[in-house]
Every structure is written in structure tokens, then in C-alpha cells.
Amino acid sequence: MKKSLVFLLLVCSGFLHAQHYVLDSITQANSGLINQEANTLMYAEDSPYFSNFFSKLDSLFAGKKKKLHIFHIGGSHIQADIYSNKIRTYLQNMNDISTSQRGFIFPYHLAHTNNPLNYRVEADKEKWKGYRCSLNDSVTWGLAGVSATFNENIDTIFIKSNYKNYTKEDYCFNKLRVFYNNWSDDYELKILDSGLVLSDSVNTKAAFRQFNFSSSLDSIALEVRLKKDAPKTHEPFLLMGLELMNDDPGIEYTSIGANGARFDSYTRCAYFEEQLALYKPDLFIISIGTNDAYTTHFKAEKFRENYENFMKMIQRVNPECAILLTVPNDSYYRRRFPNKNTSIQEEIIQELAHKYQMAVWDFYQVMGGLGSSQKWYKKDLMPSDRVHFTYLGYSIKADLLLSAMVRQWEQSTNRPEESLLTYFKTLDE
């Protein structure tokens, strides 16, 4: 799907204007394109996990200073961070205390792949090499599923927490975690402005070093330098991610995506569970599956096993976590054949949701079921691959998921019908 990834790069760089809530106007212009009756969080009303989650979310909406953490994982749809960022922005803009820390990010540019627009990490990328868990690579990965290695003498990494984001409050941080191969002692890692550093510490279990700063920052410069006494056959510096942290209440929305990733891709990430355990998410949205189905050798039972094992891992990290299982969008295989594997995935996802008392967002049915991606393509909401979406397509997808979440939130907390949805429609990002 190389051409599709090139398309995503163009999408990410071509739309820099502010986002808007577009669902109402789009559905009027495209009647019959979206199955509104299917746009719900199925089974959420019977899930104690979702009842607890919406209670926490409602407290934040009411102005109570709490922290809430949402994780959203997938493949290229999430790496691009278009529709996930729109949901992030809606939730973090809902009141004066809802913007929490930016949290975990990955410098995709250093791995020579597309980076989300809403933060920036810069270095001499020609000195870096990227590895994805979805490819036949063999390095160590963590939570991001992508790693970048550096095998030169010195480089400076410039980190900007705000770039082209639309949050009302800018992101700031007074702590920085750098996830890297700290089991090796060949490279020195330091903050260029050493006067900002109050303290730092190393965690070997989750493979990170944490710097604590004397003030709140929105950018920082980090130096990576090969030690003078390092052996000639030294181990490269391996970067697995960054975390921009503060103590503010609000909603933190972490998106994890690696182009081409499947469930078995993330099981290759040696530090995935150790690093996820640092956060204990309140809601985990699983949007893996498109790449699992993109094959003529799809095995339903293996997909079920991988999906269930992933859910069990989330529950090990936080037994109280609400898990939203999302059914992949309709797609075409090699641009020629509607992918029938998605309907098999749909059945498995429904069964697992019942078994674990979790919820399902069945986007496959929302967009119209088998072959519907052709209709979305004709409306310029998907490119010719009919796997990914255009910028407008992703924007609609975000609005649909937000609508489903908000309606369930209203029902769960006994708020008047359409009251929260009306409120979110007034938020101009």
C-alpha cells in the first residue's frame, strides 16, 4: 500500500486550516451514504466499564479537576492522527480544565515516515534510520511500534509540543520522558540548557529516562552524543518514544499508530505492555484490523486469538478500563475487490465485546457495509485505494465517532437527549 502512504503524506501537508464540526452538512449533502442508525456504541449501556468511564468524563465536563486518559491504537489511519486528533481536540476544548498534557508521542520524521501535524520533533534525519513493527525489521520496539536508530557521533533533537494543533490551551510540560535503549551505556543523553533540569532518573523496566524541569516549557532541545570511550562496535542509540508531561488535570488522548500494523505487529514490541502499564488508561479504543484483513490468507481464528490476547493485555494493565472495539472500514483489496474479510472480523468483534462486556463502534455498517467504500470514493471521501480516507473523509469519521460517544454519554449520565451533542457542535476548533 505504498501509494496510499504517499497519499497520506499529501493529505497531512495539504490541509492546515482550522477544523470544523461538519457532520450535519455532510449528511444533508450525501443522504444515504451514512447509516445513522448504526452509529452507536453497541452494548455500552450494559457495560459497567463504560458506565464508569462516562461518569468520569461527565465529572470533567462539570468542572471537576480530574485526569482521564484515552488511548487509541491502529495502523496508518491512526499514525496520520487526523481523525483521532479531531476527537482529541473536541474533548480537550470542551472547557477550561479539559486540556491535559500532550503525553506520549513519537518522532516519525526521524524514522522517515509521516508525522502528525500537531507536534514537531526535528533533528538531522539523514543520521537516523526508522524501523516499523509491521515490517520484517528486527529491533526493539516499545509503545509506538516504531523505533528510530542513531549511529553517528552527535545530534540535537528539537521538540515542540505545539505545532499545528487547534487546542484552545497550548500544550506545556515540566517533565520529559525519553524512551530509549538505556540498557546500553554507549551514548550520553542530556538537555542542552542544563540550567532547566532539576533532576533526572532512569527506569530500566520500562526503558526510559525522565527529566524534571524548573519551569513549564513548550519546547526543549535534547542532545544525543556518542561517548568518547564507546567501543567501535557500539550499539546504536535506539529511540522508542517521548512523553511530554505535566500535573494538570484534564483529558489526555494518546494515539498509537504504525503504518501497516496488525495485531501480531504489536505483539513484537518487547516493551509495549511495560510502557502501557505506566498509564493505566480509562478508555482504550482498538482500531486495528484493516491490515489483518488485507490478505488472501486471512485466518479468522488467528484474528480472534490475537484480538482477545490484546484485550487481556489491556485488562492486565487496568482491569477497570473500558475497551471500545471498532470494526474496520469497508475497503478494497488491491483496488479491485471488495474485501469480504471485514464482515468476518465484524462477527468476531461482536462476539468478543459480548464476552468481555465491552462496546463496539461498527464503522463498517455505519459507512454502508460491503462495497460502500466505492460510494465514499465517488464522493471524494476516499482516495482510489478505497482503504484510506481523504482529509474530509477522516473529518466525517471523527464526527461520527464523537456523535456516537456523546449520545451514549448522555444516556449513561441521564443528561437530556442532544444536550451534549448540541454543546459540542458549538465548539469551533
Q: Which helix (H) or strand (E) holds 373?
A: helix 372-378
Start-end of H helices in 170-299: 263-266, 272-276, 290-293
Closest Cα partner for 21 from 406, 412, 411?
406
Structure confidence at residue 294 (pLDDT) = 87
**Residue 203 contacts residue 210 (beta carbons within 8 Å):** yes
What whole-number distance in Å separates Cα of residue 326 and Cα of residue 349? 8
Over 46-86, what HEC string results?
HCHHHHHHHHHHHHHHCCCCCEEEEEEEECHHHHCCCHHHH
- Mean pLDDT in each 10-residue stretch from start to end of the chain (429 residues)? 44 44 64 90 98 98 96 96 95 95 98 96 97 94 98 98 94 98 97 97 98 98 97 96 97 97 96 96 96 89 97 98 97 86 97 98 96 94 93 92 96 95 79
What whole-number distance in Å separates Cα of residue 190 and Cα of residue 109? 21
N-to-C CA span, the chain: 32
Start-end of H helices in 81-131: 83-92
- In terms of Cβ atoms closer than 10 Å to its own Cβ (0-12, 13-18, 19+), residue 205 is exposed
Distances from the Cα of 262 to the Cαs of 61, 203, 266, 298, 329, in angstroms?
35, 28, 7, 12, 15
Cell numbers given for 201 = 532518573
Structure confidence at residue 13 (pLDDT) = 39
Structure confidence at residue 23 (pLDDT) = 62
Structure confidence at residue 116 (pLDDT) = 96
Q: Which residues contact 301 (CB under 8 A, 6 or more apart)?
A: none
Q: Which helix (H) or strand (E) holds 257?
A: strand 250-257
Beta strands in 126-218 (DSSP E): 128-132, 146-150, 154-160, 173-180, 187-191, 197-203, 208-217
Q: Which residues contact 365 (CB under 8 A, 6 or more apart)?
A: 35, 38, 327, 346
State whether the Cα torsion 312-79-239-321 is positive or negative.
Answer: negative
